Amino acid sequence: MKKFLNSITNNSIGILRKPVIFEIIQSVFQGQPFFVILLAVQELIKPLDGQGIDANRLYMLLAWLAASIVLLFFFGKAVYNMEHSAAYTIGSEGRLALGEYLRKLSMGFYKGRDPGDITALLLQDYSNIETMISNLLMAAIGAVVLPVVFFFFLLPFDWRLTLLTVAPIPLAGLGAFISQKIVMYTGTRHIKAKNEASSRMLEYLDGMKNIKAFNLQGEKFQRLHKAFDLLKRKSIQQEAVTGPSVILAVWILNAGIALVMLMGIKFLLVGTLSLGNFLIFLIVGTRMYDPLSKVMINFVELTYYSISGKRIRELYSVKPLPEPEKSNIPDKHNVEFEHVWFHYHDTDVLRDVSFRLEENTMTALVGPSGAGKSTITRLIARFWDVNKGVIKVGGIPLSNIKNEDLISRISMVFQDVYLFNDTILENIKIGNAEASPEEVRAAAVKARCHEFIEKLPKGYDTVVGEGGSTLSGGEKQRISIARAILKDSPIVLLDEATASLDPENELHIQDAIGELVKGRTLIVIAHRLSTITHANQILVLKDGEIAERGTHDELLQDSDGVYAGMWNEQRKAHNWKVGSKSYSGIIGK
Closest distance between ligand ATP and the C-beta of residue 364, in Å? Answer: 13
Does 91 participate in binding ligand ATP (rule CB under 6 A)?
A: no
Question: For ligand ATP, which residue of 19, 31, 116, 372 counts as binding (CB under 6 A)?
Answer: 372
| Stretch touching ligand ATP by CB under 6 A, among 3-11, 97-105, 362-370, 580-588 | 362-370
Question: For ligand ATP, which residue of 149, 193, 248, 371 counts as binding (CB under 6 A)?
Answer: 371
Amino acid, res. 118: I
What's the Cα-to-Cα distance from 219 to each of 76, 205, 223, 224, rounded to whole Å?
51, 15, 9, 8
Amino acid, res. 249: A
Closer to ligand ATP by CB, 111 or 225: give it: 111
Closest distance between ligand ATP and the C-beta of residue 111, in Å? Answer: 5
Does 382 participate in binding ligand ATP (rule CB under 6 A)?
A: no
Does 111 participate in binding ligand ATP (rule CB under 6 A)?
A: yes
Rounded to whole angstroms, how far apart are CA atoms 354 and 341? Answer: 10
Does 369 participate in binding ligand ATP (rule CB under 6 A)?
A: yes
Question: For ligand ATP, which residue of 133, 349, 494, 524 counts as binding (CB under 6 A)?
Answer: 349
Residues 316 to 345 in contact with ligand ATP, rule: CB under 6 A? 344-345
Residues 91, 38 contacting (CB under 8 angstroms): no
What backbone phi and psi angles, to 5 degrees, belong to 357? -110, 115
**Radius of gyration of the CA atoms of the chain, in A:** 35
Helix (H, G, I), strand (E, B) or coil at 389: strand
Q: What share of the chain is helix, strand, coil (3-state, %, to 5)?
A: 65, 10, 25
Closer to ligand ATP by CB, 432 or 530: give it: 530
Closest distance between ligand ATP and the C-beta of residue 412, in Å? Answer: 14
Question: For ligand ATP, which residue of 162, 245, 334, 375 counts as binding (CB under 6 A)?
Answer: 375
| Stretch touching ligand ATP by CB under 6 A, among 62-70, 223-231, 372-380, 528-536 | 372-380
Does 68 participate in binding ligand ATP (rule CB under 6 A)?
A: no
Rounded to whole angstroms, how far apart are CA atoms 580 and 533? Answer: 9
Closer to ligand ATP by CB, 146 or 366: give it: 366
| Stretch touching ligand ATP by CB under 6 A, among 167-175, 326-334, 367-375, 571-579 | 367-375
Closer to ligand ATP by CB, 112 or 218: give it: 112
What's the Cα-to-Cα distance from 319 to each of 102, 106, 240, rounded to whole Å?
10, 9, 38
The DSSP annotation for 392-454 comes to EETTEEGGGS-HHHHHTTEEEE-SS----SSBHHHHHHTT-TT--HHHHHHHHHHTT-HHHHH
Question: For ligand ATP, which residue of 131, 254, 374, 408 counts as binding (CB under 6 A)?
Answer: 374
Residues 8, 310 contacting (CB under 8 angstroms): no
Residues 450, 437 contacting (CB under 8 angstroms): no
Rounded to whole angstroms, how far apart are CA atoms 551 and 157? Answer: 99
Rounded to whole angstroms, how far apart are CA atoms 580 and 528? Answer: 11
Closest distance between ligand ATP and the C-beta of residue 369, in Å? Answer: 3
Closer to ligand ATP by CB, 280 or 376: give it: 376
Closest distance between ligand ATP and the C-beta of residue 346, in Å? Answer: 10
Closer to ligand ATP by CB, 195 or 375: give it: 375
Closer to ligand ATP by CB, 147 or 544: give it: 544
Q: Which residues pair with 336 in a beta bridge?
A: 356, 392
Rounded to whole angstroms, how far apart are CA atoms 402 and 447? Answer: 30
Binders of ligand ATP: how many residues, by CB under 6 A?
Answer: 12
Using CB under 6 A as the criterion, which residues of the chain lie in contact with ligand ATP when the complex forms?
A: 111, 344-345, 349, 367, 369-375
